[in-house]
Structure 1
Amino acid sequence: MGIFMWKQSVNWLRHHWSGVVMLAVLLGSFVSAPVQGAAATRVDARAAVMIDQQTGQVLYAQNATKRYPVASVTKILTLLVIEDDIAHHRLDWEQKIKIDHAVAKLANDWRFSNVQLNEGESYTVKSLVESMMIVSADGSAEALALASAGSTQAFNQKMQKMAHRAGVTDAKIYNMIGLSNGELGRYGLKGVDKDAENLFSAQDMAKIAAYLLNHYPDVTKLTSQKFVNFRVTDGQEEQMININAMLPENGVAAKGGEIDGLKTGLTDKAGNCFVGSGTFANRRIITVVLNAPGEFNNQFTQTQKMLDIVMNRATPVTLTKVQQLSAQVQTIKVAHGHHRHQTGVKIKPTVVWVPKQLATAKHWPAKLKVRSDQDTIAHRQVRAPVKAGQRVGTITLQLAGMPDFTLPAWATTSVAKHHWWQF
């Protein structure tokens, strides 16, 4: 075993797993524990969530909105910023980034997860992204961020902007890696506690991952690679082994579907974290598990448990019209309308995961809520005038045993306002 691979094994022991355990995963010696009894309804992790990637429907949620350290799962957001830079021609996949002393020091620190980056050497954006996502290379993440923005603080601002686009507004972001602020050394933030770590909720990470994959779907071509060569310098190339053990044919490969990404993470505060992406029941889904206790592979075992829970109780069905829902959401009264005193309600066709016992039901239980800027004092009617196609509120599907799912609702007909002088 060369020095590079020895360092990789030490890095995995610190941040992911030892080389021996990694070999066991690839050989398939680990299997997911069967889901039985009362424990079948709960994931053994600090927080967990599963969503439909396209619609954002929450399929499973456990302590999903509280913020926690997420370690290298942060790099999903880092990648989103880099993808946005490339899409807007601020960076290029084949652009070379020269490594300075501080980045090389971090990249070659045995305590962290890394590939070897030599001071003064240049590496392509593509190779740095691959190493960041496949073996969680911390130095590569730092090099990319500095090339993108010039400083940790400036890159944090770009991360905040991208997180907001994904619907995340209250995350605590200190750096592009997920390490503590003090561990970044020269590139740590001034005036911030050295122990500060990025804080996201499981739901936050699901939203960010879904936004990344919805806008840059080719990411999975990168994250699904099991083995990728990394050029350290001329004449020295090493093989990276993907640390996502849920990829097909691995020891804890997903059952009932296929995982093709996305990112693991581990620090003392964050514990074992995993954000997964893949296809199940012909739908793209995102899973998040934060701080799964015990051995490293438990983050994957608990992800499979969550998948089993959802797949056993729910199925995706296409909702094409409001008539498939409760009668009380199919029309809405119009206050002060001229002649017409109600309007029909319509929705856009969408795929909804529903409890299996509801899949063939004539009507699914639902509740309509009028938009606050169009509501009446009684909260049961929309104010005239109403125009056909006007968004009048939301319809919430009340699905037994699953989180509620909310859809926008539009008026089908126009209703003019009735004035007191009109007869």
Structure 2
Amino acid sequence: MKKKTVKQSLAVLMISFMAMTPFQQTAHGKSTLEINADAAILVEADTGKIVYSEHEDEPLGIASMTKMMTEYLVLEAIEKGKIDWDQTYKVSDKVYQLANAPGLSNVPLRADEEYTVRELYDAMVIKSGNGAAIALSEVVAGSEGKFVKMMNAKAKELGFEHYHFVNSSGLSNYDMLGMYPEGTGVNDENMVSAEDMATLAYYLIHDFPEVLETSSLTSKVFRPGTSEELVMKNTNGLLKGKSYHYKGADGLKTGTTPFAGSTFTGTAERNGVRYISVILDAKDEYNQPSSAERFIQSRELLDYGFKQFETVTYGLDNVETNKEHTLPVPNGKEQEVTIKIKKPLSLRVLKQDEDKVKTTLTLDKEKVNEDGSLQAPIEKGEKIGELVVDTQEKTEYIFDKKVPSFTVDVYASESVKKASWLVRSARSIQDFLGDLF
């Protein structure tokens, strides 16, 4: 009688079992956070989900965070074989002047000296060397002007919506001693929204995870054992040994100019969970730009993600009370099949939220009869449906074209052959008599 009741429940193309479980909400302007900046955002690095945001779509100055795009294009050029780490670069007059200009963040580069791409890359990522960034733009594109075009093209390709790159270093053009890139103006500034900076960090980490090996270094010696030996100290205050050390922090880039204020794109990973934070023009209690506050507020953002959310897994146990995980197959030689999934789906969940997720098991239309029941034959390992997690809430992501699908494929654990005509006829007669009497 129990099997008959289950069969009747399969009269539609979908088998739905409700499991009410907690799930996060996108937190915009959450009162528990005190962020004093022109813009801010916190993003799940795995999914791109926006967890918290303020003025995230407003294009603002980004200063040396511009170098993150330069990093991306350099790493991409290496991956494609267009340049290599050991390739040497002879310092141009422009790079020499800007790499040795007083008041600018730099690793001094000598006139007519040759440096490897690796040396320039380390100087740019760790010490935020402006001359090194410009040198790399010349290595990749031939000139900084051509490189700027590549920067804007890549931003469009990655789905940025609010951006304007004018040089490779993040300097204000008026600080470039009149040598700003062709096609740009003396008063032009690099301007990108917080959401687009988070998008850039997302793609940097996913496409070139090795970027964190360099950005996580608190210091490194430039050209050790030579007359140019210099200890390059990382400007990221969240790294180990720094004033605002944050457990798990390993990137990415700071930025400071009078135009942009104090900015920072950070990231940290704990227990396999990573978040990306962006702070644009952090302010202190007197509403003045503050180098310290960009790290203090980044810590608050990251704490919100790590402490207010938990990782919850979803599997077949969430959608059925039948812990044996079987489904009926009325026309099969065996009248049920065991189902399985390869791996449960893990999602970050806001701890205080409850009863907000619908978990559903949906059968493949081609695997069911007209009455909606699962049909034989079924092969072992054959996909028969999907486990779908529906948040039932509006969820925002840093990109539109790659919104993740919260589904898990469901497979048959064994084969089920189709019963003979005689057996199926006998079952039909038995069911008819059962209904009759």
TM-score, with length taken from structure 1: 0.69
Q: Check whether the contact 2:134–2:169 (CA below 8 A) recurs between aligned residues.
A: yes
1:193 Cα shift?
3.1
Alignment partner of 1:193 is 2:181: no
Gaps of 5+ in 2: 1-29, 285-289, 320-340, 360-382, 411-437
Gaps of 5+ in 1: 1-37, 325-345, 367-387, 414-423
User: Could you tell me how far apart the structure 1 residues matched to 2:345 and 2:145 are?
Assistant: 40
Alignment partner of 1:300 is 2:292: no
AA in 2 matched with 1:122: E
Secondary structure, in 3 states, of the residue corresponding to 1:297? helix
Give 1:98's match in structure 2, choosing from 71, 78, 90. Answer: 90
Q: Deviations over 1:139-167 (max 9, x none)?
A: 00000001100122211222223323432
User: Could you tell me how far apart the structure 2 residues matched to 1:210 and 1:389 are?
Assistant: 34
Give the alignment's Cα RMSD to 1 decimal.
Answer: 3.4
Correspondences of 1:10-409 after superposition (within 5 Å): 40-185=32-177, 187-190=179-182, 192-231=184-223, 234-254=226-246, 257-294=247-284, 295-320=290-315, 350-358=345-353, 361=354, 363-364=356-357, 397-398=392-393, 407-408=404-405
Secondary structure, in 3 states, of the residue corresponding to 1:193? coil
Q: Check whether the contact 2:48–2:397 (CA below 8 A) recurs between aligned residues.
A: no
User: Could you tell me how far apart the structure 1 residues matched to 2:345 and 2:41 are?
Assistant: 21
Q: Deviations over 1:175-202 (max 9, x none)?
A: 1111223333454244533111111111
User: Could you tell me how far apart the structure 2 residues matched to 1:166 and 1:84 are?
Assistant: 13
Q: Check whether the contact 2:266–2:276 (CA below 8 A) recurs between aligned residues.
A: yes
User: Could you tell me how far apart the structure 2 residues matched to 1:130 and 1:209 are?
Assistant: 18
User: Could you tell me how far apart the structure 1 residues matched to 2:276 and 2:317 are?
Assistant: 27
AA in 1 matched with 2:75: E
AA in 1 matched with 2:120: L
Relative contact order, CA 8 A, sep 6+: which one is greater? 2
1:322 Cα shift?
12
User: Could you tell me how far apart the structure 2 residues matched to 1:305 and 1:395 are?
Assistant: 29
Q: Deviations over 1:76-96 (max 9, x none)?
A: 110000000000111111111
Q: Tell which structure's C-alpha radius of gyration is larger.
A: 2
Secondary structure, in 3 states, of the residue corresponding to 1:48? strand
AA in 2 matched with 1:273: T
Secondary structure, in 3 states, of the residue corresponding to 2:108? coil
1:248 Cα shift?
1.7
C-alpha distance 138-276 of structure 1, shift in aligned 2 (>3 A): same
Secondary structure, in 3 states, of the residue corresponding to 2:310? strand
1:73 Cα shift?
0.4
Secondary structure, in 3 states, of the residue corresponding to 2:147? helix
Q: Check whether the contact 1:266–1:272 (CA below 8 A) recurs between aligned residues.
A: yes
1:135 Cα shift?
1.2
